[in-house]
Structures are given as C-alpha cells and as structure tokens.
Structure 1
Amino acid sequence: MWDGLESAATVAQLVGLDVGGLITMIGQAARKARQNTKDCEHLARRVGMLAELVPHLQDPEARRAVAGLKDALVEAHQLITSCQRRGLTSQLFSASRQADRFRDVERKIETCVSIIPVIGYIGITRRLDGSQSQSQLSAGGAEDREFTLAEIAVATNNFAVVLSNDADTGTKVYKGRLLQNGPEVAVKRLNRARRGAEDAFFAEQHILSPLRHDRIVRLLGTCADDGERMLLTQYMPNGSLHDHLHGHHLSSSSASPVTASWRTRVQVLVGTARAVEHLHCHAVPLIIHGNVASSNVLLDAAWAPRLAGFGASVWRAAGVDSQPVEVAGAASCGGYADPEYCGTGRIRPASDVYGLGVLMLEVLTGQPPVVSVWDAAKQGVVAVTLASFALPSIQAGRLGDVLDRRPAPQQLQPLQLVANMAARCLHLQGGSRPAISDVVANLEQALRLI
C-alpha cells in the first residue's frame, strides 16, 4: 500500500511500538486524512476506545491476542495513512472495495478484542453500555456514541426484528446487537412524517442522555446520518409490564413471573417509584417524566423494572409549583392522564404521582387503565377509567372485589397498603397527593410485609 522503503521503514517503526503508541498514531493520521474522512474518523474512534485498556494488555490471559491486535492496528494505520495521499486511494481501490477494507480492519480488531476477557469486560462492553469512566463521572459527562446508518443497519440485520411500532409517538423500535459479541440494544427509529414526533424525539434524547440510575433505561448512542434519527438504548429481554399484565408477555406458553407473584408485582412498583424519585429529587436538572405507564416500565433479564418513554418529559423549572406544557403529551396516555394537568395545561411532579397511582391499580387489578363496564342505565358497555372503576371498592374496604387474583391471607395487609397509597396518589388536586418520597417509603414497607 505504501511506496518502497517508506512503507518498510514505517512498518518497522510501528511494529516496534507498543499498542498505546499505535493507537495514538492512528488518531493523528485520521486528523490528516484527505480521502474517506468519515471512514477514517470512525475507525480512529473505534481504535480510540482501546486507549484506557492498554495497561491490561500485560495480563497473562491477554498476551496471546496482543500480537494479532498489533497486526490489526498496523493495518488500520496503513489504511488511514493512505487516505492522506490525494488521489492514491481512488487509483488503487474502487469506493466499495475501500469501504470493505475499513470494515475488514474493524472486524479484525473486534476479533482480537473478543478473545481478551479483560478488555471485553472493562472496555468495549463498558463503553457500549453507556457507563462512564471515573474521570467522566467526576466531570458529570455522558458517553453516548454516535453511530452511522451503516453501523445501525449491520447491528439490526437491516432492521429485521421489530420490537414495537408506536403510531402515537411516530417511532418504530428494532432489536440489534453491537459488535460481534456485544450487548443487545433497542433501536428507536423516528418517523419524521408525523407532526410533532421530532420534537418529542429530541426531547427524549437530551433528557435521557445524562441519566444514570439502575431503574432507568440507559441511552447508549444516537444516529443522525443520511436524514435518519435513531436512539440506541439497553435492550430489555422481558418486554414491558403492560405485556405481562395484559396477556402479551413474551413467554406466552407459561405463566408470567410478574403476574404469578404478588411480591414480584410490588417489587416492580418499588423499582418504578424509585426511578421517578430519582427524576424528581436527584437528577440534574430535575425532571418530570410526564408519561408514567405500564408500557414504559420495561423488564430486564432479572425481571427488574427500567423506566423508559421520555418523549413527554420536561426539565423542571426552578422555583415554580407547575409549568405550562402542551396537554397532548399526557392526554394521549388515556387513563393515566392527570385530570388537573389536562384541565390547566400545566404539569408538576404530582402528575407523575398520579400516573403511579394508576399503575398501582393496574398491578393490583390486572386491568388496563381504561376498562369496559356494563352501564345499566344506557343498556350497553361503556369505557371508564381504571380509577373510577376500582377506587369505590378500595375506599369501601372491599379490595378483594377488584384484586386480579386471590392473595394469601398474610399478603392482604401489604396489598391494602398499596391500594391505599394508590387512592392518595389519585386525588384530583395535585397539591393533595403525596410526595414521591412518601410513595417510595409506603411501597417499600408493603414489600417488606409481603
């Protein structure tokens, strides 16, 4: 690829360097590239991910792969350096062949990385799952990657598996996997034709990006390439709470672990309430979620909840009790919508508390947020909110009339605690609802008792 002695001398110099030196030289070469600059920058960024892992290459388990990694990095440097010579690349390779070379070098690097356990754990996975290095944590920065459309197409097998299609938000979500043995991801793809979808999409990106909490889904990266807009988040293999409560859970051949156990149901409520508490009390800046719903409570591999669906979220304005927003964001949530919010167009943290109250009833009764009931006066079936359906029985002390399944005798008291808290959360005036910290404390007490 290089001419004569220059090539031989440079290769000899590179082979004599350690991996850290190679990584530095690749980054420097990428900045000088005149051709294929996008491919060069992307490859350099991938290589740069290895920088903090160089000290671990002396681990005995890693040494057998170091030679192959050096060879791959030498090839990466040669490929990027060739792009510094105007016209040389176009003479030697067609555009498609050059792109193949970049992909081939990336695969070689990833293959070497995949057989070094310490790198696979400490480096690539940590980078791609969105976590932060210690220095970045202290600086408060997020580490969301920017992906190209080509990368997303490869990760999703050309958008083969659709996880959800939400006409209300104008998005489709696809399943994907980063790298050969990397983490599975959910890729939310924006349909820009839907009015208002783009504003909600960017709001979700900017609000979710800095959030780091074990009960909130994590943003791993974005794509803004060739007119596309996509968000990559952690993939939750057990679907949503809505799927399980309403008969759409993934393991349809057997009972859902969520619905089979009252303890698991309360655990999910506790985790969700803790996520909201983080948004209201600890996030910087503070956040109002605006769409607490069972479809936005996702379940990870351990059946723990992760709050998602931040398209209607807003940063909380300082020094005010409530703030104006467009009502459509919450009104579309059906039975979850805070009546005060819908009437005034002003949102406050208590709006999330109302949504949690509906969610508690949903978990207790197994019913959706809007239910169909027989109206004797109208001699027909009418739709009513879950709150108006269940609260009269709860307030009359007849919780058993609306429970999804019969609890063990010792479980009735903690479930009554949950029901009583739900009733408080569903007060029509936001100022009369409990603070989120009180909701968390009550649910934690119910969980201990159950």
Structure 2
Amino acid sequence: MGSKRKRVGDGGMEENTMAILDTYCFSKSTQHIADDRLSFLEAVRSGFLVTENASVPTNKMYKAIFQILKVENSLDLIMTSYQLLLELDKHFPQAWSPFSFGTDATSSEKQDHGKVSGSFDVTDFHLLIEDLSKVPDEANTEILNLQPLRNMLLFQYLVNVIEGDFVPRNLAFTEHSDWNNLRESLLNMILVSRKITYKTLVKDCLSTMCELSQYSRDCSHDTRPDETGSTEITEKCRTALAIALPGVVKSTCAAVQKLLLMIIELDSSKKEADLEGWTTRADGTRTPATEIILDELSYDKNILFPFFQALDKPKLKLDMIVQYLKKYIPKTSIRTRRSNGSTDDSTFGGVLNSFSNGNNTKSIIKKISSEVAQLLLAHAFQAYILLPSQHSTESKEDTAENSRPNICKDMISAFTCLKKADKHTEIQPFGKEALFTAAIMLSRNS
C-alpha cells in the first residue's frame, strides 16, 4: 500500500506538525487538548493540501488523524478529521491503509497506557458493523451522544478506503486476468481472515443495511443536551447533530450496500478465477454473498421490504428477486399461451408467466403470502424499467416474451391472478403504483 510519491525527506515537517499534539493528547479530554488537535489537523491541511507539490504525509501522521476520528467526542474534531482523511486520500491515492492484518495483537491488547493504535484490524471492522445496527437506539437517547455519528463516519471512511483499493484491482482482473493482484486486495484479505466468520459478516451487513434503511425513512430525533457542561455548547451541538444525522444515516446505509456489492463482485471474479484454474487451495471456498442474502430473506421476511427499498442497483435487484421467487415456483412444466415449451423461470418474464397460472399462484402465495408476492413483483418491475432497454435483460432474456410490452401485460395479468387466488387480499399501494406504471407504458406502446 506504499505510495510511490516522495515522503517528507528529513521528517522536519512531520516533527513540527506532530509537536502540536502533546504527550497526553490521546489520554485526556480537555478544551486545551481539543484546540491542539484542531490546530494539528489544520497544520496537516495547510502543509499537505494547500501547499503545491507537497510530499505525502507519513504513516505516523495518517494514524494520528485516524486516531482522532476513532476516539474523539467533539463534533468539530470528528467532522474535521473525517473530511481531512477523505481529502488526503483523494490527493494521495493509496498512500496508506488504516487496516492492520497482523496476528500479533487483538483489539483489547492494543492499548498502551491509554493510547490506542491508529489502525484497524478485521475484528474491529466487524464489531463496527455490528455497532452500526444499534444506531437507531443510540441516536434516540435523551443524552447527547456522538458515538453513532462517529461510528458511521468511521465506517464510511473505511469503505471508501476498501473501494479505492478494490476497484482498480478488480478492473485489472477483468482486463488482464490478474488474480494474484486481486487476491491481495483489502477486501479479500478481510473476507479470508480467520479472525471473523465470513457468513456472519455478510449477515450483519444485511441486517445493518435494513436497520439503517428503516431508520432513515423515519429519522425523528430527541437528542437533548447533556445536563453536564455548558448548556449553550451542548445545545448548539445537539442542533448540529439533529441536522446532520439523517443525511449521515442515509449515506452510511449506502456505504453498507456498497460493501455488499463489492463482496458480490469479488465473488464473481473469484468464481471466474476458480473456473480458469488460477486459484489455489490457500484461496479457500466460501458461499457466494447472494446465496447468504437470499437465505436470510427467506428466513426473515420482515427484512424483505427494507432490503429491496434500500437496494438501488436495478440489475442486482432484478436478479435477486427472480432468484428468490424461483425457489417458490412449482417445478412442473407450464404451457404458456405464447409458447409450446415450458416457461423459463430464471428470467423476469418467466417468473411473471408462472403467475399467469392460477394453481401456481395459489401455491406461491401459500408459501410467501400475497403481500410479499406483490412487493417482490413491484420491486422487480421497478428495477426492470429503470434499466436501459438494450441492457434490461441478459441474452437469455432477449426474447419477445421479455419485451417491455409483454412484461407490462404480464405484470397486470400476475396481479389479476393474485387477486383471484386470494379474494380477501388487497392490492398494496406499491402494487397499485406498479400496475399504474405498467398500464401507462402499455398504452404508449399500443
């Protein structure tokens, strides 16, 4: 992860800047120390971002900034250190990594006389994801609490680092079949680490994404100033936190989704490497993230709506819904009105065709309920129409059965069959919206 740019030559810049932080900077919490930390951050900004042709900050300086973000309880310092790290990473790409993959010390063993290491290991990362699922409860306490905000910004920064490392490596794999380079990515090193359980990590990402998605849609806060300290200061902080938190929750939810998407992309690349014989026994095997997610969605239908509500990648959303529904479609051959063959239920058109059969529809809703079926079909249709026409389907779906007019017709037919299969069911608002859209699109093509 070392940068090819020249670091500070004799350490003079580092020595002068680091001198701003006194010996007790990371073990006490006073206004004086907070001022010193702000001065340090500003000195780094002035010395390395404002100055032209500046050298790359040293690892010691990066760790000090990261350390402030990890432990600080000041809103100003949390936001300033977070923004500075993002700007430095943008200005000096891949100059450092906050992750430590050593096996020498655990999180609890890193403390030395009150000082905490300015790095993150795999266990820390997993624990952080678990903590994010507690954000709704922590943010709604009566005491002013900056920990949820700090954890969310810390996670966003770490995902940003992982993305900056993973994307070019995965692109190199796609273009040059360079699996060795992709194997050494931060993301892969996290997933293969023996310090965590891979499946649990994916499940925790899923549950955290759903928790934050639900909370961001109803982000009402009652954070009151702590009774200790300056009322004026805490009141200003409370107001700033109340304003910032909804946006941070939403962006954190997007960051969790981004992490899951990168894991899915890595799964795809690893599968290709496996097929080509480029992997070794050391690479190990793991269940694809999509399979883990689909199993969790099948086990806990309460997270279906928040998950697909939060998932904003149309292609992935459509594919996952098709895979999900496919598990509940009867495995008998189904004659359709347009074909003498059997329906291909691995396509969206094939899934809709399955709902055109009354017996199939009854069988499906016995397993997942009419409401869930409506939800999935509506979200799948939404994803389908958001995709560009030329990319809305893969080659296997490039047939008349999957053309937009037929998809619209079959959407209406599917909901008609749902209504007939369960006369007591009501078409849900999101279902009505999908039907209205299908009818409009169909009328424009007639």
Provide TM-score, normalisation by structure 1: 0.31
Higher strand fraction: Structure 1 or Structure 2?
1
Provide TM-score, normalisation by structure 2: 0.31
Higher helix fraction: Structure 1 or Structure 2?
2
Bigger relative CO (Cα 8 Å, ≥ 6 apart): 2
